[in-house]
Amino acid sequence: VFFKNLIFFAILVFVLMFLFYIIYVIYIKNKKMSETTKKIMPSATLAINTKAKNLKNSGVDVINFAAGEPDFDTPEHIKRAAIEKINSGCTKYTQTRGIPELIEAIRNKFKKDNKIDYKDSEIIVSSGAKMVLYEAIFAITNPGDEILIPDPYWVSYPSIVMLASGVPKFVKTKNFKLVPEEIEKNITKKTKALIINSPNNPTGAVIDKKDLMEIADIAIKNDLIVISDEIYEKIIYDKQHESIASFPEMKERTITINGFSKSYAMTGWRLGYAAAKEEIIKEMLKIQEHSVSCIPYFVQYAGVVALNESQKCVSDMRDEFRKRRDYVLKRSSELGMPCCKPEGAFYAFMDHSEYNKDSMKFSEFLLDTARVAIIPGIAFGSLGESHIRMSYANSMKNLEKGFLNIEKAIKTIK
Ligand SMILES: Cc1ncc(COP(=O)(O)O)c(C=O)c1O
């Protein structure tokens, strides 16, 4: 009887401890975490990129088509300018908005390239286009405000909106083109803004001027703010880039986002900028004052040189991307993975439904079998399913090798 009671007592203690642990995990430990950040998913593009890098570090020959950054080095004259500024002691805090030389260079760039006249007070420089997007979205969003995001979308938009206590609402595209009727269908009393991104990540689509004008009309009619992410402005192949803020009555309701990461192969420098009416920029400045403070002087000075000196480095990179785009288009169609012709950026969004409809499984299969890292389309929204995003910011040699590997791998499926 004594042993029976002892075993019973031990089981009882074990069960109680287990229950206490469950209660601790669910109610106490998790409660310590923010309800807002719990809703946010880690970036899927960075996750695959990291997995590919880890495989590579462990000696596996992985070809990386996942990275969203040019494979070119930052042009020499830009690097040199930053080094000179470091050597001459420009290593202290700067103005929160950005150094006057850079603000002036950005103002001139908007005037020359985009036909928009901004004042210095309507411009802000921050830590990459991502940070200016944060500041822009936080500056305009009240809890419950709806922000329209065309699907497929760049992975960070919905997370930033949710972090700002807004509600992302996804707008369907047709053949990856933004259709004005679909925008109107999603507008409610709570709609605050619409994000547009042309050239687009992940599809490479560019919004036609005619469609952009219709979007502008919708924004004016419904009193919406437009956040226009133009980070791929300079990587455009067959069309002229159009900035929606240059259309009549649009400057005051548009926040134009841009940066140096893609055009000048400066992803690691973390330099981006935005332009909008002064009231919005003032709010963005407050966020900046209490977060990043300012961007390093030498980084900003590199931006001045990038904008003010010859743009040949930009056109050289674009010409190389165009060659690769044409090659990727040809090979993807030969392999039965068609893709809408990318008109800009450096991504091909390929339809792999002939082989497998699950983009997560298909990209895992490609990583394991073909040793190529590619982002599953589902990471970019529900309309991205059955697609993979291949970044052709990689050498022609690697593209050729990668496609040969993919060809061999998919032969094992058929
Ligand atoms: C559409 C889009 N917007 C913004 C960014 C962020 O760029 P940055 O490196 O300047 O923060 C990216 C980067 O991949 C992007 O693809």
Cα of 169 vs centre of ligand 1, distance in Å, is 20
Spacing, Cα 129 to ligand 1 middle (Å) = 6
Closest ligand 1 atom to Cα of 127: 11
Q: How far is the CA of 10 from the centre of ligand 1 (A)?
A: 57
Query: Within its chain, how far is the Cα of 20 from the centroid?
Result: 42
- Evaluate: CB of 391 within 6 angstroms of ligand 1: no
Q: Model-level pTM?
A: 0.92
380 Cβ inside 6 Å of ligand 1: no
User: From CA 196, how far away is CA 314, in angstroms rounded?
Assistant: 23
Query: pLDDT of 22-33, one tens digit each?
Result: 887 777 666 678
Give the closest residue to 376 by CA, choosing from 66, 61, 52. 66
Answer yes or no: is the C-beta of 68 below 6 A from any ligand 1 atom: yes
Q: Which residue has the tokens 């083109």?
A: 177
Per-residue pLDDT at 24: 77
Closest ligand 1 atom to residue 69 Cα is: 14
Written as six digits, the tokens of 172 are 């369907």
Torsion angle of the four alpha carbons 112, 116, 121, 124, in this order, in degrees rounded to the nearest 10: -70
**Cα of 82 vs its chain's centroid, Å:** 26
Q: Is 402 in the pocket of ligand 1 (CB under 6 A)?
A: no
Could you tell me which residues are beta bridge partners of residue 170?
Answer: 149
pLDDT in single tens digits along all 414 residues of the chain: 777 888 888 999 999 999 888 887 777 666 678 888 888 877 666 777 778 888 888 899 999 999 899 999 999 999 999 999 999 999 999 999 999 999 999 999 999 999 999 999 999 999 999 999 999 999 999 999 999 999 999 999 999 999 999 999 999 999 999 999 999 999 999 999 999 999 999 999 999 999 999 999 999 999 999 999 999 999 999 899 999 999 999 999 999 999 999 999 999 999 999 999 999 999 999 999 999 999 999 999 999 999 999 999 999 999 999 999 999 999 999 999 999 999 999 999 999 999 999 999 999 899 989 999 999 999 999 999 999 999 999 999 999 999 999 999 999 986
Tell me, using a 6 A CB cutoff, whether residue 191 lines ligand 1: no
| Distance, CA of 113 to CA of 230 (rounded, Å) | 12
- Whether 128 lines ligand 1, by a CB cut-off of 6 Å, is yes
For ligand 1, atom 14: residue with the closest CA: 68
The pLDDT tens digits for 204-226 are 999 999 999 999 999 999 999 99
